[in-house]
Amino acid sequence: MSDRVRIGVVGAGSISIRGILPHLTQEDVQDRVQVTAICDPVFERAQAAAERFGIPRAFERYEDLLDRGGVDAVTIASPIGVHYEQGKLAIEHGVHVHFNKTMTTTAKEADELIELARRRGVKLVASPGEMLRPLHQQIRRMVLRGDLGVLTWAITGAAFGRYHEEESVRHGDDVLSNINPAWYFRRPGGGPLYDMTVYGMHILTGILGPAKRVTAFSGVRIHEREFRGEMIPCDMDDNTLILLDFEDAFYAFVYGIAAGGIPGLRRLLIFGTKGTINHDTFNGQPIEYPGRELAEKYGINATLPHVVGPHRTMEEAHVYEDIMQLVDWIREDKPTIVTVEHARHVIEIFDAAYRSAETGQVQELHTTFEPIAV
């Protein structure tokens, strides 16, 4: 086992300020991890974050963080559209990588990173690690043993609404509380699929296994958004409706939309001939799983392995968990169940959905992954 893992934080935006940095600078993890550097293209933001959280080095350029930040690993929390380039550069430097969702925007990019990491001996973890949750592992057990009978169809999805415009780091007067959310609505990497629907898609495929085909409609519904009196042009698709084929006439409906949602749907609905699972209930009754009492008291993130003590009441604890999966892997050489192959499959689904919408043709999926053993 090595000493503490030295981590660099890439991006001093919302997820870092609200979640990553508060968690990684807690006293209870300092025996395993140390944040040694942070970078942001707004250098004043990187400096302010470093001062607030006691980080030794702040950089404007990502390349400088890799060269002079004293890091063993990075957590990439920049806009999704630059994750591929930043991940590749880290791997080329021999630096282990955690990607905040999603790892890339295309399966081809994911293929390249996975192969490059394999050749360089670099470890990769890509959020969201939804199958770490005991609830989702229990649902997979129920499906496999036939509790739902013959599966008929499933639903998952998410809506943008005004979530990002209203985050706590958006409307203040200093550099750490007036962060502009415009990238969420722009190409490349914006839109609700990569940012929000990704959670439900990881749950759906993590429980049911890889999908086989995709068809979709997609486009831009909201062409401008208002933020602090300014209008943000939106050119990334924000209304995408997907039909997934898991073979043998078992289908799933998936959405990533500008606003609205299916009433009563939380993260996942699975229908079968013997009943329905809706998030944490089966036929209207609570599903029993390890940690249910913690989830009822603190929220479902409290059931994650590293979310203990003060972390249970902090924002973005699931992201912290995924980073700690990488930390443990580096220190103990025990691979995590949060695999980049699973992340790549979800990315291919989204990539193929956009291609289907553009061409009007069903798209065959070519990637696969090994679902967790339960």
d(CA 202, CA 197): 9
Buried-exposed string 12-27: b where 16+ CB fall within 10 A, e elsewhere? bbbbbbbbbbbbbbee
d(CA 237, CA 354): 9
| pLDDT of 262 over the 70 cut | yes
Q: If residue 215 lies in a helix (H) or strand (E), which one and from where to where?
A: strand 213-219
Residue with tokens 């969702």: 101
| pLDDT of 264 over the 90 cut | no
β pairing state of 33-39 and 224-227: unpaired
Beta-carbon contacts of residue 48 (< 8 Å; ≥ 6 apart) = 12, 174, 175, 176
Q: How many CB atoms lie under 10 A from the CB of residue 141? A: 13
Residue 199: burial class (beta carbons within 10 Å; 0-12, 13-18, 19+): buried
Token digits of residue 197: 């629907």
Is residue 217 helix, strand or coil? strand
Q: What is the mean pLDDT of residues 3-22?
A: 97
pLDDT of residue 113: 98
Query: Per residue in 168-210, pLDDT tens?
Result: 999 999 999 999 999 999 999 999 999 999 999 999 999 999 9
pTM over 0.95: yes
Are residues 99 and 339 in contact, defined by beta-carbon separation less than 8 angstroms?
no
Domains and CATH numbers, the chain: 5-126 (3.40.50.720), 130-305+337-364 (3.30.360.10)
CA angle 131, 310, 5 (to 5 degrees): 65
Token digits of residue 29: 């993890």
| Residue of 198, 172, 194 lying closest to 80 (CA atoms) | 194
User: Where residue 2 falls among pLDDT bands split at 50, 70, 90?
Assistant: low
| pLDDT of 1 over the 50 cut | no
Q: What is the mean pLDDT of residues 128-156?
A: 98
Per the prediction, the chain carries an average pLDDT of 97
Are residues 170 and 177 in contact, defined by beta-carbon separation less than 8 angstroms?
yes
d(CA 265, CA 158): 10
